[in-house]
A and B are shown apart, each in its own frame.
Chain A
Amino acid sequence: MTDGAIVCPVPLPAGGRILLAHGGGGRMTRDLVERLFVPAFRNDVLATLHDAAVLDSPGARLAFTTDSFVVRPMFFPGGDVGTLAVNGTVNDLAMSGARPLYLSLGFILEEGLAMDDLARVVESIRRAAGEAGVAVVAGDTKVVERGKGDGVYITSAGVGVVVAREPVAPDRVRPGDAIVVSGPVGQHGVAVMAVRDGLRFSSPIVSDCASVVAPALALLEAGLDVHCLRDPTRGGVATVLNEIATQSGCEISVHESAVPVNEDVAGACEVLGLDPLYVACEGRFLAFVPAAQADAALGILTARADTARAARIGAVRAPGTPGLVTLKTVAGGERVLDLLSGEQLPRIC
């Protein structure tokens, strides 16, 4: 996305709606693609408008991921389905120790969607892709009947080049490893929940939706022996820790008082009866590094504006019960931090 030409990202007339015909593959589809998507994502590869993007891969290892985005509501404080689609995908690549390069985006649009809303999402994607340093090189558009979709669904795929010298994966986690979180948790889940009726707060809570590529790669490029990276999305930090404990066959211990939570998120979680440890983030990651390198990792992260509140929150225990995650609570007692059965719902009891 290095094209310096200034292109208006909304070349179509303002107003209007997506019609079934926009997904028909004919002239209206071509117009939509050429007048809305291509100018926004403009790059040499996309310009060929071929069936697949042919990419140069300079003899390196590739990381490849796919994801789908169906968030409701489509627009929320701090982001929208578009920013989620880009950041969610590039973050997955970064978690594998890769520098993201290319994205493809498939759009399933609901008949009746306002063109202005779609244009807003496309502009968000353009901006997020630019910030993450990726090019959107392939795409597809389909339209479904009114009532059969939810505004916009996006499916993405992402490709990146692995820059980590050693693999970055759960099976590299070792007893004694320190666990670092890159910033305050629980923001995205509360931001999205709080937009629904009756759960609104006077000043909106803003999602943390962002790319974590730069700080994650900074750790790798500093030569740290990063064993594992993982971004806590659905189910929050607690869910990710359980996944890694299970996949690595280790036991993990966390200190509740060490986990950073913003004051507004803390207050909202108290009121709604939510535990921030289980609430989704979209712009944070956990890093597992050897204990001796924890301070160095924290030094790198806290020096950056986007990860200034990074903190060490726990460790991999040795010896331990495989798959177990325990929490030292703020009050001093200990408990198990297990997987939830379903999603957390606001509660009154």
Chain B
Amino acid sequence: MKYLDEYRDGSSAQRYAETLRALVTRPWTLMEVCGGQTHSIVRYGVDEMLPPGVTLVHGPGCPVCVTPVAILDRAFRIARRPEVTFTSFGDMLRVPGTKDDLLHVRAEGGDVRVVYSPLDAVAVAEREPGRQVVFFAVGFETTAPANAMAVQLAARKGLKNFSLLVAQVRVPPALEAILGQPECAVQAFLAAGHVCTVMGTAEYLPLVERHRVPVVVTGFEPLDLLHGVAMAVRQLEEGRSEVEIQYARVVRPEGNPAARRALEDVFEVTDRTWRGLGPIPRSGFGLNARYAEFDAERRFPDHEPDAREDPECRAGLVLQGRLRPQECPAFGTRCTPEHPLGAPMVSSEGACAAYWLYRRRRGAPAAPTVAGAGAGSA
């Protein structure tokens, strides 16, 4: 497949690994922000190709992982309503709330359906006027334009049976929060390529100015990741801190203006709580007043008590890159994909799930690593 296969080429990856080795003179710790990048790194074994001295830590860029328990519990309550058809991306189906998940709700009789796109959910609402169709609008800025378009479409068609349960989050405030931690060992970021496809790079300039960290907007295939690491390491070795674009074939500094116009029409910036990280001001999107009628939280109000997260789950530390999954005491014991304590063990791009599926060697102990100690790959 064009624009995929060539970026997975083994011999080019090998050559990148060799030239990286020549480039590195000191240990460096980089954070890759996007869960899709985490997934790709571990799936293709990119971390094993890095020279000792370059440590990749996995960031909070998994919108599934950071959806707060309170919203999940809310989703389950809405999905249990007999008049509701609850539509969602497949990623959310196994994520646990306080207890239960959407699969359990479906098993108990809830009308829970997987869709590929929010536009499909609008089509369901049109086809089944007797149902209240709710779409679980989880995602980063990458997914926000599609969610915005779905709402605009529903409004244009005058649909009275379509609403969004919004759990949209924004990346830059989360990076600020991570950089603000005193124990933060991250020296450079591989920024999320598809988020920046929509938003452009302007939002990262203040971050770079304030914290003097290189930010390289990186793609998702093995060569993209190796190229992004090379660009970030070069900045670090040369003492520069700039925003650069590795994923130039897709990302423009101005982003996608048409998509951003849709976001401005439909959403407003709100405060959001991130599962495992806590509340981060201005870190999310919510429906603005113009489209308030499409907000499922308004359409299905409830006054349930606040939900709690499992105290043993250390997802927060994992999402900040301060703990490797295999260093968590619950990893593989109390917490497995079959009975997860938190979201990163369930989501296909969650760091814990990635390590479980791709790295765990039965019978062999996992090598302990400490972020920033330059001990190389996991």
Contacts and interface: CB of A to CB of B under 8 A. Distances in A.
Q: Do chains A and B touch in the complex (CB under 8 A)?
A: yes
A342 B46 contact: no
Interface in B346-376: 347-349, 356-364
Given A199-B116, A321-B364, A334 B46 contact: no
B348 A335 contact: no
B265 interface: no
A321 B117 CA distance: 42
Contacts of A347: 89-91, 348-349
Interface string B126-169: 00000000000001000100000000000000000000000000
A338 B116 contact: no
Given A197-B124, A345-B90, A329 B116 contact: no
A349 B114 contact: no
Interface in B95-135: 113-117, 120, 123-124
A21 interface: no
Interface string B1-42: 100100011110110000000000000000000011001001
B348 A349 contact: yes
A229 B49 CA distance: 35
B231 interface: no
B44 interface: yes
Contacts of B49: 331-333
Nearest to B225: A331
A interface residue count range (under 10 / 10 to 19 / 20 to 34 / 35 or more): 20 to 34
Q: Is the interface of A mostly helix, strand, loop or mixed?
A: loop
B48 interface: yes
B229 interface: no
Interface stretch (A134-142, A159-167, A179-187, A266-274): A266-274
A75 B359 CA distance: 39
**Interface core residue of A257, A271, A273 (most chain B CB under 10 Å):** A273
B42 A338 contact: no
B222 interface: yes
Contacts of A333: 13, 44-49, 222
Nearest to B34: A349
B51 interface: no
Given A338-B356, A349-B63, A321 B362 contact: yes
Given A332-B13, A335-B359, A346 B116 contact: yes
Contacts of A338: 356-358, 360
B363 A321 contact: yes
Interface residues of B, number: 54
Contacts of B35: 349
Contacts of A6: none
B44 A336 contact: no
Interface in A278-295: none
Given A332-B45, A349-B347, A341 B10 contact: no
A14 to B, nearest CB: 29
Interface in A140-199: 196-199
B216 interface: no
B43 interface: yes
A324 interface: yes
B116 A349 contact: no
A65 to B, nearest CB: 28
B117 A336 contact: no
A332 B36 CA distance: 19
B91 A331 contact: no
A330 interface: yes
A66 B63 CA distance: 43
A197 B8 CA distance: 31
Given A345-B91, A347-B91, A349-B348, A272 B116 contact: yes
B359 A331 contact: no
A60 interface: no
Nearest to A339: B357
Contacts of A348: 89-91, 116, 139, 143
Nearest to A273: B348
B214 interface: no
A279 to B, nearest CB: 14
B94 interface: yes
B62 interface: yes
Contact of B93 (A323, A329, A330, A345): A345
A270 B1 contact: yes
B64 interface: yes
Given A197-B124, A267-B1, A324-B361, A330 B8 contact: yes
A335 B1 contact: no
Contact of A329 (B11, B44, B337, B360): B44
A84 to B, nearest CB: 22
Contact of B62 (A257, A334, A342, A349): A349
A329 B39 CA distance: 13
Nearest to B40: A331
A271 B116 CA distance: 9
A8 to B, nearest CB: 38
**Interface core residue of B43, B46, B49, B124 (most chain A CB under 10 Å):** B43
B45 A329 contact: yes
A333 B42 CA distance: 9
**Interface core residue of B36, B42, B45, B337 (most chain A CB under 10 Å):** B45
A341 B115 contact: no
B183 interface: no
Given A349-B62, A349-B63, A335 B360 contact: no
**Interface core residue of B63, B91, B347 (most chain A CB under 10 Å):** B91
Nearest to A338: B357
Contacts of B9: 330-331
B306 interface: no
11 contacts: A273-B90, A321-B363, A323-B362, A331-B9, A332-B49, A333-B13, A333-B47, A336-B361, A345-B90, A346-B90, A349-B91
Interface of B: 1, 4, 8-11, 13-14, 35-36, 39, 42-49, 62-64, 89-91, 93-94, 113-117, 120, 123-124, 139, 143, 222-223, 336-338, 347-349, 356-364
Given A330-B10, A336-B360, 8 more contacts: A197-B115, A324-B361, A333-B44, A341-B336, A342-B94, A345-B90, A348-B139, A349-B35
- A-B interface, 9 closest residue pairs, ranked by CB to CB distance from nearest: A333-B45, A345-B90, A198-B120, A341-B337, A332-B10, A331-B222, A331-B44, A335-B358, A346-B90
